[in-house]
Structure 1
């Protein structure tokens, strides 16, 4: 295997460019961004700087003239932005959500027109939710009716929409059949500049707890006429297209959570290393502080493993993304929320100070990240999507249905993924989840390696207990029965446990495929200990001591920096 050099170069160049923009008075200066946050002001200069750095080209597939041929690159670029400021990342990255439906619909000329607009800096928004219906898309009341002289007339209001006011183009989901239902809605790419005066208004920006400067507003349409070519796909295809689009965007949301996690963990580690305890020694020397830092590090590594595998699976396990995107979107933001809450206790009152204080960046990161769990479907919505697939998932696990080639590619981060095939996206996974169905073989491989390498005995034992817990979980999933819209509470607990098993499986598969045979095993042990602990499985004190080792590795890195999982997976020669 070889590292995809163009990918590495793209990410490294972009990251270095961002750092050059973080000095005083520059577009990504932390002080300036904090001031904008206090004023609830949009970070226009920062977004413009990202435009100039070429980030919009990575929202456009290469077949339409852009640079997007690897979703892993997009994730790493947005993670780098999120590490600096989550408001900027959320404001800029939402253009991809606005555009992706057009990419999936497959019509070449509309896609090329949109591609040109985006690469020229146009902002695109996606208007799905409504004031009285939230994420229940099938209850939407915005309607589109055929106009007498051609085209469509749109009426109704979309609300709590990111970039609704600032965007020049808005993808709108509208009811085109009075009966509604899955085939009763269509998608339209609305160009505000082509609407007649008075046929649309944008309600005021909604004040938010986090990402205060973002344009969270809405758009109200009043008999707004759009041309026939504004229709995305075919009439009645809107829900199908948007659900498939969400498989992609939910997965890529992990980038923003991971960037926030990087930032929060680096801030907390620097605080613990430099802040004295009552006896004058650094807090980081206190055993309970090191354990907290180690557990937070393990949580971030699990979240990163999940996001990394899920985003590569878009290319190689595309038909299973109804499962993997739901896992990534439910698990990664929730894990980062838990990580930040853990670190907030460690920082104490310093974690709540304003941006004028040396430690005040943490409070902003804590506030900003809260909203990521809501973007593109909350954890509740995504766990519901998993629960609907419990019978298929349990059956696929029992029968050992594994796409071996796709799984190997998804868990080999140093090779280029195969081209993304949008037609392979499916509303439901018919085969199950290769990631967990392939767990027995992965555990067997780790055990075999442990016969020849002594330090693998401990992770092999942990992985064996994970496998046992995963088997019991699937038996419980198979036994769940419920009528429509009456999901029992215990099913959501099972879904949460399913995410944990997937996260641990991601870490194991990545360790086996992503690095050399003699690679460091500390991070894998930490991930397995953290996952088993969260699953409520017994973990011995000597096994949990690996969390202290992870804390030591965290504290040894340069101040303000982070060490990603990709850094830990040594590049194969």
Structure 2
């Protein structure tokens, strides 16, 4: 791998500064309240939509910004540095719509991508109660009915469910074909027969609603299928190759936010007549935190560059970026709590929230155990 796999351009550096300003002024002031009240970060959504940062990946031909994978990661990283829940707005908009971008017909792209660019959210429906990591065992069915389809079943752990207007949903269309019998559809929030369960009560990212989708005779038009029949799982896995990197970016942002706060705190906090930052043990902790964080950031950026080029080794690098960065985020945020001592354990400081938010990055879009399986298979394939 050459050392010029990515280089931040002047435009990208300006983007970072612009997002940082939006996050500082319009998102961070509400982060603690959003977490405490477990409410959707509406202020963040409005600020991100106003700045065209909520779904920057949408191509220009569909009224979007046309940002590349690395730019999207930069946006998510900077938002997560201020508020993990808010960073799921651009992350999930990309996850939910990526099947349409990758495999949708010109007609379905023209119908949904401009609306996403205008501010209507897009979520992703793959997991079920009994089909989490084992996605091929899903039970949600889509049967043909006249010129449309009827969906029955449920989807679990749907991020921003009830807030997003659109959902890419995977359902079984040929029960006898195994993993080749799954197809992808766009479902709209207002479709008859679709309801949402109660909001899950979670450890972290409390501002992002996570709910079940329940399909009870949910009829959708026949032109809502994304890609060809039976290609749904293939599309879903290809989507994840591209979007796992955004979870790596979220993890990097959470870790950076925690490191920023911990560093400022130990410079101010005094014990035994001097600043806590002057103790070698504390400096060693900061050094390890910063070193691992920077390694995670570099891996995420390289993976994002590979996503932009659709390199053949993207599957390995997408899994590696997500897995490594999320493990680092959990470690760095936990160490940040430790550096603040008792103060780190109370909600007066944001590091305990960042630690709780970081945990999910090791779980969603494929647990880190699944990422290691993915990487191991890629290594064995050479």
TM class by shorter chain equals: over 0.9
Q: For residues 157 and 223 of structure 2, what CA distance do their matches in structure 1 show?
A: 26
- TM superposition shift of 1:29: 4.3
Aligned pair partner of 2:302 in 306, 309, 334: 309
Aligned pair partner of 1:162 in 159, 162, 166: 159
Residue in 1 that maps onto 2:254? 260
| Structure 2 alignment gaps of length 5 or more | none
Residue in 2 that maps onto 1:287? 280
Q: For residues 119 and 57 of structure 2, what CA distance do their matches in structure 1 show?
A: 11
Q: By percentage of residues, which structure has more strand?
A: 2
Residue in 2 that maps onto 1:185? 182
Residue in 2 that maps onto 1:244? 238
Aligned 1:323-338 pairs, distance under 5 A:
323-338=316-331
Residue in 2 that maps onto 1:541? none
Aligned 1:157-556 pairs, distance under 5 A:
157-193=154-190, 195-196=191-192, 199-277=193-271, 279-316=272-309, 318-354=311-347, 357=348, 360-393=349-382
TM-score normalized with structure 1 length: 0.64
- TM superposition shift of 1:179: 2.1
Q: For residues 327 and 163 of structure 1, what CA distance do their matches in structure 2 show?
A: 26
Secondary structure of the residue aligned to 1:156 is strand
Secondary structure of the residue aligned to 1:56 is coil
Q: For residues 122 and 300 of structure 1, what CA distance do their matches in structure 2 show?
A: 33
Q: For residues 231 and 86 of structure 2, what CA distance do their matches in structure 1 show?
A: 32
Aligned pair partner of 2:40 in 39, 42, 60: 42
Q: For residues 258 and 5 of structure 1, what CA distance do their matches in structure 2 show?
A: 21
Aligned pair partner of 1:124 in 122, 125, 130: 122
On the 8 A contact 1:91/1:162 being kept in 2, the answer is no
Secondary structure of the residue aligned to 1:41 is coil
On the 8 A contact 1:292/1:343 being kept in 2, the answer is no
- TM superposition shift of 1:3: 6.2
* Number of residues of Structure 1 aligned to a counterpart in Structure 2: 377
Residue in 2 that maps onto 1:137? 135
Greater relative contact order structure (CA < 8 Å, 6+ sep): 2
Tell me: CA distance 1:129–1:180, structure 2 relative to 1, closer, same or farther (3 Å): farther
Secondary structure of the residue aligned to 1:380 is helix
Q: For residues 325 and 315 of structure 2, what CA distance do their matches in structure 1 show?
A: 16
Tell me: CA distance 1:69–1:270, structure 2 relative to 1, closer, same or farther (3 Å): closer
Secondary structure of the residue aligned to 2:304 is helix
TM-score normalized with structure 2 length: 0.94
On the 8 A contact 1:103/1:111 being kept in 2, the answer is yes
Q: For residues 135 and 118 of structure 2, what CA distance do their matches in structure 1 show?
A: 31
- TM superposition shift of 1:92: 4.2
On the 8 A contact 1:91/1:215 being kept in 2, the answer is no
| Structure 1 alignment gaps of length 5 or more | 22-27, 394-573
Q: For residues 90 and 309 of structure 1, what CA distance do their matches in structure 2 show?
A: 21
Secondary structure of the residue aligned to 1:371 is helix
Q: For residues 97 and 250 of structure 2, what CA distance do their matches in structure 1 show?
A: 18
- TM superposition shift of 1:203: 0.5
- TM superposition shift of 1:8: 3.1
